């Protein structure tokens, strides 16, 4: 579903990604972890073309992300992305946040979009908050809305960039629970997160990055049992 081949990227003179290759198969859940500044956010943003790359190939569902002829906004509409900060529209109600792109991008009718929005709000446990504004919800609730909004587009894959790292501890699980459920339903997911409980529960593979390199790309069982590199072992020792 997602394939990266020898991807390299520079910010000016600074090489942020070096020869990164990996793939995420349909229905697979891949967790990306590694120290701060190692290039995780950059890597995940290259996947849907939010960050251009200077070298390498990236494809989603067979469509090239780096080909200039590819309609990136059309492609992005099919790939859900959830960031650390919720990025909901503050002046729109929760329902409006969930219907806007359905109507504008997918051309759904308002009724159809609203029905879908309510169904998804039900699913993330927030139907009672449909008419509120983002500022009236907690961080955990806003992040669940952000996930529901991404799902409203019927994405073929979901990308997460540290979706729980800006949340108070008591709100982390309510967001992870939604992500676990998604994973168990077979959603193709690439998640930058340091929540190793989540990784242990639902990830198929774990990628460990350091200084722009994919240092490990292992089956979950192997990663947790015996990371090959010393850097990954150090990292795990610090966060577990």
Which residues of this protein are in contact with ligand ADP, per CB under 6 A?
A: 11, 14, 16, 34, 36-42
Give the CA dihedral 180, 201, 190, 150, nearest 10 degrees.
0
Does position 42 interact with Mg ion (CB under 5 A)? The reply is no
Residue number, 49 or 163, with CB nearest to Mg ion:
163
Burial class (CB in 10 A: 0-12, 13-18, 19+), 112: middle
Structure tokens at 170: 């008591």
Structure tokens at 129: 């908050």
CB of 190 to Mg ion, least distance (A): 13
From the list Mg ion, ligand ADP, none, which binds 11 (C-beta under 5 to 8 Å, kind-based)?
ligand ADP
Residue number, 14 or 128, with CB nearest to ligand ADP:
14
Q: Which stretch binds Mg ion (CB under 5 A): 16-24, 34-42, 178-186, 203-211?
A: 34-42
- Give CA–CA dist 12/77, Å, rounded: 29
Does position 41 interact with Mg ion (CB under 5 A)? The reply is yes
Q: Would you give the binding string for Mg ion spanning residues 131-170, x where CB under 5 A is met? A: ----------------------------------------
Contact in structure between 99 and 89 (CB atoms under 8 Å) = no
CB of 107 to ligand ADP, least distance (A): 34
- Report which of 159, 190, 192, 195 is spatially closest to residue 176, judged by C-alpha positions: 195
- Give CA–CA dist 63/27, Å, rounded: 18
Q: Which stretch binds Mg ion (CB under 5 A): 36-44, 103-111, 210-218, 228-236?
A: 36-44
Residue number, 104 or 239, with CB nearest to Mg ion:
239
Residue number, 34 or 134, with CB nearest to Mg ion:
34
Residue 91 CB coordination number (10 Å):
10
CB of 51 to ligand ADP, least distance (A): 8
- Give CA–CA dist 42/62, Å, rounded: 21
Residue count at the site for Mg ion (CB under 5 A)?
1
| SS3 state at 153 | coil
CB of 205 to ligand ADP, least distance (A): 18
Residue number, 36 or 71, with CB nearest to ligand ADP:
36
- Give CA–CA dist 203/48, Å, rounded: 21
- Give CA–CA dist 239/173, Å, rounded: 17
Binding site residues, Mg ion, CB under 5 A: 41
């Amino acid at each position: 579903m997602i394939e990266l081949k020898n991807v390299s990227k520079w910010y000016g003179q600074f090489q942020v990604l070096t020869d990164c290759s990996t793939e995420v198969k349909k229905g697979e859940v891949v967790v990306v972890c590694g120290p701060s500044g190692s290039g995780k956010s950059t890597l995940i943003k290259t996947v849907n073309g939010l960050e251009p790359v200077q070298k390498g190939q990236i494809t989603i569902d067979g469509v090239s992300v780096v080909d200039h002829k590819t309609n990136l906004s059309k492609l992005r509409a099919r790939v859900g992305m959830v960031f650390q900060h919720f990025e909901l529209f503050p002046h729109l109600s929760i329902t409006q946040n969930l219907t806007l792109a359905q109507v504008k991008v997918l051309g759904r009718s308002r009724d159809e979009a609203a029905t879908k929005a309510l169904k998804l709000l039900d699913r993330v446990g927030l139907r009672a908050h449909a008419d509120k504004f983002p500022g009236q919800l907690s961080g955990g609730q806003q992040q669940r809305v952000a996930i529901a909004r991404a799902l409203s587009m019927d994405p073929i894959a979901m990308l997460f960039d540290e979706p729980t790292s800006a949340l108070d501890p008591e709100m982390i699980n309510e967001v992870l629970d939604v992500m676990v459920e998604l994973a168990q339903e077979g959603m193709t997911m690439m998640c930058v997160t340091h929540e190793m409980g989540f990784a242990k529960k639902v990830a198929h593979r774990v990628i460990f990055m350091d200084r722009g390199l994919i240092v490990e790309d292992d089956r979950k069982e192997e990663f947790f049992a015996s990371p090959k590199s010393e850097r990954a072992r150090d990292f795990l020792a610090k966060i577990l």
